[in-house]
């Protein structure tokens, strides 16, 4: 569904309410009441054969009786009647339906069958449906309430702004909207997608992205309906610098069960979703409070140039708390320097602090200029990216200080964020001044710093040029090869790695005992011997590995023992030979590189500490394919074991650059294979000392089926 195809849905010139009721307090009566109360400018057509009119508006027995075009039908009838109603809408050429009814996939198989039948009929006839199980939608820009959500009954109308909100849950979505309105946040659209029979949260996000007035999009999701579509939406959001904020539930096992019973969505892997969010610049939040806090700070569209934070407070304790949270959230509190420090030292009392955090002390109660002059100095400081102010001042003084902050913020591009701590009675007027001026204001230090972290993360993402470049097969030196087996064992995997210019030890394969001596003639001792079998993927468990072979006799003995042990381990295993290769004598850091397939998002590349550590420490880093070099480097830097690569006591720095280059090459190779490659495991990869490269000691590829196609030569 294209984004533009939803425009008529959310801005209809005529609305039919099928199943409309004279009881304006009921689910089927409230849509009529809300449209009338908010003075909807279009045509309203209530449909119910029991009434001649509702609230003075002519009522029709059927939608087919309406004499004019209908842009949108709001339907509040039972699930069992929906197919016949939909057929009438199709006959009337109504292509937009907002479905309030419940009793579909969320109740089980019987409801699922009705939902599937309705969805098929709608799709076959080009009809778009939001719902079922929706409480409605709101076009805030044109003040068009389409539904029965409590928030749509607001007596004083809706605050218009730049935030679009879409939610699978109607109760939660409109609760967020109501609470955000109290914080003086304005919206363009609020949409509840319900069961998502047709239109999904991501479809709606796509529509909102292309709306000029919508510059921030927030979403509540219980599952990801289309992983690839979400990635494309996130990429487009970066192009437009429109923040995406997502609250996704279904993380715990209990939560996943609740999701299934609520909207029949399937919650995906939380780990994978978080990887996607981080890689493509989606801000993820834990609850609705955090969602609103993030809306406040990003809806200003004042981006930070970096992560250097200066905090100003009239409380030393608050400054210490902000410093603690800054360290936790990866923000940098650097000491003031040069003229900035000199001016602030001259401005604040001698018993204050011009370090960072800055303590202006309670003296600012008497001398307001201390606060404003300090702020004026900081906004001009090139070494300050974000300014965070914390104050407990209340009454007329607090209100006046907040007014001064708002005046400075209005003319400056540098982000200014404020914490006003205190009761509503004493400090509420100051907070109101800031909210009405659009300055992000919070009640606690923690909430402030969480919001600042999100702003810094998103700003950093916007500043980063990180377009992944897929290397061509020619650059990768890939040659076409017949790979008609589903599993590529070590010798074939290593042949591919050599084509990717990834070093592997010299090796040779003996298919029989008689070949051993001839096969190893060109290899240097000591050797390692490994079983080759598509049926034995964990060679060590099968006794299929022998180390430190010093001569030909030991090699022949190793061949016999490996074959015998492998057959004992798995009698039906087909052993095609034994791989002999030179043992690596140089020391290095053991790493691994792997490929993970996710049904929603496709292939991911994984790296971490290798060998036995992969299972013990589970220190891994994941990115979606394809990756740029910057992505690959950040993967390595994210690892707890990164310190080992940087060099520890007694060992020098490892060749991180070579490992990063290998990640990029493997990313490109896997990406151009599309969905043909199911699994790839290179473990261990020995990262030698800086400048000496890497060596892959083992490898395995699994293709998606036995008749896997040839390697892709042209992407």
Alpha carbon 476 to chain centroid, angstroms = 30
Which residues lie closer than 8 Å to 159 by C-beta, 6 or more apart?
140, 181, 184, 185, 186, 187
Per-residue pLDDT tens over the stretch 295-338: 999 999 999 999 999 998 877 777 788 888 888 899 998 888 89
pLDDT digits (tens, 9 = 90+) for 439-457: 999 999 999 999 999 999 9
pLDDT for 625: 93
| Whole-angstrom distance, CA of residue 79 vs CA of residue 102 | 7
pLDDT, position 262:
33
- CA–CA separation, 252 vs 715, rounded Å? 39
pLDDT classification of 474: cutoffs 50, 70, 90:
low
Tell me: pLDDT of 598 over 90: no
Residues 111-154: tens digit of each pLDDT: 788 888 888 999 999 999 999 999 999 999 999 999 999 999 98
Q: Please choose, from the candidates 72, 48, 35, the residue with its C-alpha nearest in 3D space to the C-alpha of residue 153.
A: 35
Q: Which residue do the tokens 């908010």 mark?
A: 38
pLDDT for the residue numbered 350: 80
* Crossing angle (nearest 10°) for helices 227-240 and 201-209: 20
Q: What is the pLDDT of residues 481-502, one digit of tens each?
A: 545 568 888 999 999 999 888 9
Q: What is the pLDDT of residues 68-78, one digit of tens each?
A: 999 999 999 88
- Model confidence at 599: pLDDT above 90: no
pLDDT at residue 472, as a whole number = 67
pLDDT at 675: 78
- Distance (Å, rounded) from C-alpha 255 to C-alpha 78? 28
Six-digit token string for 281: 């610049």
pLDDT digits (tens, 9 = 90+) for 654-696: 999 999 999 999 999 998 887 788 888 998 999 999 999 999 9
Question: What is the residue-wise DSSP string for 276-337?
Answer: HHHHTTEEEESSHHHHHHHHHHHTT----SSSBEEEEES-HHHHHHHHHHHHHTT-B-PPP-
If you average pLDDT over every residue of the chain, what do you get? 88
Query: Reduced to 3 states, what is the DSSP secondary structure of residue 493?
Result: helix
Confidence at 263, pLDDT banded by 50, 70, 90: very low
Residues 6+ apart with CB under 8 A from 415: 297, 300, 302, 303, 304, 385, 386, 387, 455
| Collapsed DSSP state (helix, strand, coil) of residue 15 | strand
**Checking DSSP bridges between strand 620-624 and strand 602-609, what pairing results, if any?**
antiparallel
Range in 21-35, 583-597, 607-621 with the lowest mean pLDDT: 607-621
- What are the residue ranges of helices labelled H in 22-131? 30-37, 82-91, 109-124
Q: d(Cα 530, Cα 76) in Å, to the nearest integer?
A: 68
Q: Tell me which residue of 424, 418, 371 sits closest to 397, measured CA to CA.
A: 371
Least confident of 137-151, 157-171, 454-468: 454-468
**Domains assigned to the chain:** 3-298 (3.40.50.261), 309-463 (3.40.50.261), 506-582 (3.30.1490.20), 589-703 (3.30.470.20)
Q: How far apart are CA 385 and CA 674, in angstroms?
A: 42
For residue 195, give Cα distances in angstroms to 26, 158, 203, 249: 21, 26, 14, 15
* Coil vs helix vs strand at 68: coil
φ, ψ for residue 97, nearest 5 deg: -130, 130
Taking the C-alpha atoms of residue 433 and residue 636, their distance in angstroms, rounded to an integer, is 46
Cα separation, 62 vs 56, whole angstroms: 18
Distance CA 336, CA 381 (A): 9
Percent of the chain topping pLDDT 90: 64
pLDDT at 613: 64
Q: According to the model, what pLDDT value does residue 714 have?
A: 37
- C-alpha separations of 269 from 200, 223, 250, 266, 576 in Å: 19, 10, 9, 10, 38
- Between the CA atoms of 614, 615, 621 and 623, what dihedral angle is there, to the nearest 10 degrees? 100
For residue 679, count other CB atoms closer than 10 A to its CB: 16
Go through the chain and tell me how many residues it has. Answer: 715
Q: Is the pLDDT of residue 266 over 50?
A: no
Percent of the chain with pLDDT over 70: 91
pLDDT-based confidence at residue 473 (cuts at 50, 70, 90):
low
pLDDT at 478 over 60: no
Secondary structure class of 44 (helix, strand, coil): strand
Q: Is the pLDDT of residue 341 over 70?
A: yes
Output the CA torsion sign for 501, 502, 505, 507: negative
Residue 547: the pLDDT is 95
Q: How far does Cα 164 stand from its chain's mean position? A: 17
Q: Which of 641, 659, 661 is nearest to 651 (CA)?
A: 641
Residue 467 banded pLDDT, cuts 50, 70, 90: low
Model pLDDT for residues 372-430, shown as the tens digit of each residue: 888 999 999 999 999 999 888 888 888 888 999 999 999 999 999 999 988 888 889 99
């Amino acid at each position: 569904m294209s984004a533009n195809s939803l425009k008529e849905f959310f801005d209809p010139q005529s609305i039919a309410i099928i199943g409309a009721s004279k009881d304006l307090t009921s689910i089927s009566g409230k849509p009529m009441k809300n449209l009338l109360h908010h003075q909807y400018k279009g045509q309203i057509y209530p449909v119910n054969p029991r009434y001649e009119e509702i609230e003075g508006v002519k009522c029709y027995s059927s939608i087919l009786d309406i004499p004019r075009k209908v842009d949108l039908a709001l339907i509040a009838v039972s699930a069992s009647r929906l197919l016949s109603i939909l057929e009438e809408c199709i006959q009337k050429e109504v292509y937009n339906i907002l479905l309030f009814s419940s009793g579909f996939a969320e109740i089980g198989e019987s409801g699922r069958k009705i939902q599937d039948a309705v969805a098929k009929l709608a799709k076959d006839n080009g009809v778009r449906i939001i719902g079922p199980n929706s409480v409605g939608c709101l076009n805030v820009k044109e003040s068009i309430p389409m539904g029965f959500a409590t928030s749509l009954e607001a007596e004083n109308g809706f605050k218009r702004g730049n935030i679009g909100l879409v939610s699978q849950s109607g109760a939660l979505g409109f609760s967020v909207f109501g609470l955000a309105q109290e914080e003086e946040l304005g919206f363009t659209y609020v949409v509840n997608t319900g069961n998502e029979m047709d239109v999904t949260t991501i479809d709606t996000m796509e529509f909102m992205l292309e709306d000029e007035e919508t510059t921030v999009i927030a979403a509540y999701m219980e599952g990801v309906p289309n992983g690839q579509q979400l990635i494309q939406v996130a990429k487009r959001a970066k192009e437009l610098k429109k923040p995406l904020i997502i609250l996704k539930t279904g993380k715990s096992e209990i939560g996943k069960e609740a999701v299934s019973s609520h909207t029949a969505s399937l919650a995906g892997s939380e780990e994978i979703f978080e990887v996607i969010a981080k890689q493509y610049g989606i801000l993820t939040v834990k609850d609705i409070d955090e969602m609103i806090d993030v809306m406040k700070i990003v809806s200003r569209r004042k981006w930070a140039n970096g992560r250097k934070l200066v905090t100003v407070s009239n409380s030393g304790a608050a400054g210490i708390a902000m410093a603690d949270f800054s360290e936790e959230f990866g923000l940098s509190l650097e000491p003031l320097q040069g003229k900035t420090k000199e001016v602030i030292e001259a401005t604040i009392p001698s018993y204050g602090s011009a370090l960072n955090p800055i303590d202006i002390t309670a003296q600012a109660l008497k001398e307001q200029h201390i606060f404003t002059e300090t702020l004026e100095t900081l906004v001009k400081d090139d070494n300050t990216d974000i300014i965070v102010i914390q104050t407990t001042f209340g009454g007329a003084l607090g209100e006046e200080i907040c007014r001064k902050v708002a005046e400075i913020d209005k003319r400056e591009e540098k982000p200014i964020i404020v914490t006003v701590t205190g009761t509503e009675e004493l400090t509420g007027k100051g907070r109101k001044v800031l909210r009405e001026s659009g300055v992000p204001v919070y009640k606690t230090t923690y909430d402030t710093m969480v919001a600042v972290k999100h702003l810094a993360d998103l700003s950093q993402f916007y500043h980063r040029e990180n377009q992944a470049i897929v290397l061509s097969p020619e650059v990768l030196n890939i040659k076409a090869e017949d790979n008609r087996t589903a599993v590529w064992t070590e010798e074939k995997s290593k042949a591919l790695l050599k084509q990717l210019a990834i070093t592997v030890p010299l090796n040779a394969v003996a298919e029989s005992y008689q070949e051993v001596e001839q096969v190893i003639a060109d290899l240097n001792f000591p050797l390692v011997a490994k079983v080759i079998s598509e049926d034995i993927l964990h060679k060590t468990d099968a006794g299929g590995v022998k180390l430190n072979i010093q001569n030909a006799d030991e090699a022949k003995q190793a061949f016999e023992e490996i074959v015998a042990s492998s057959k004992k381990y798995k009698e039906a295993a087909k052993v095609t030979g034994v791989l002999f290769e030179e043992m690596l004598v140089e020391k290095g850091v053991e790493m691994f590189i792997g490929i993970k397939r996710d049904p929603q998002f496709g292939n991911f590349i994984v790296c971490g500490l290798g060998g036995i550590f992969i299972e013990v420490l589970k220190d891994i880093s994941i990115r979606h394919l394809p990756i740029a070099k910057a992505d690959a480097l950040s993967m390595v830097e994210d690892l707890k074991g990164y310190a080992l690569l940087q060099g520890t006591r007694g060992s020098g720095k490892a060749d991180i650059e070579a490992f990063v280059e290998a990640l990029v090459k493997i990313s490109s190779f896997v990406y151009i294979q599309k969905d043909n490659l199911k699994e790839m495991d290179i473990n261990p990869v020995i990262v030698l000392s800086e400048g000496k490269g890497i060596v892959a000691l083992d490898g395995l590829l699994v293709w998606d089926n036995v008749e896997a196609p040839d390697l892709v030569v042209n992407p």
